[in-house]
Amino acid sequence: MVKKMRRGGKTLYVCEICGLAYQEPGWADKCESWCREHEGSCSLEVAGHAEPPGTQ
């Protein structure tokens, strides 16, 4: 289940499997689905929409 959090005045949605954060919940949902199906890998298409690490 995607985790909702606030950082730097933004609401971010975090994949609870890999920890990547997104501004849109749909991308976090896609990330979690990918993580469940492909253990140990990330989708470059999905991860490309993640917030840069310094903003999390």
The number of distinct structural domains making up the chain is 1
- In terms of phi and psi (left: phi > 0; alpha: psi -120 to 50; beta: otherwise), the region of 19 is left
Question: Where is 33: in which H helix or E strand?
Answer: helix 25-37
Torsion of CA 30, 36, 37, 41, to 10 degrees: 80
Q: The sheet that has 10-14: what strands, in order across it?
A: 3-7, 10-14, 21-22
Question: How much is the pTM?
Answer: 0.87
Question: Whole domain around residue 32: which residue ranges?
Answer: 3-55
pLDDT tens, position by position, 1-56: 999 999 889 999 999 999 999 999 999 999 999 999 999 899 999 999 999 876 54
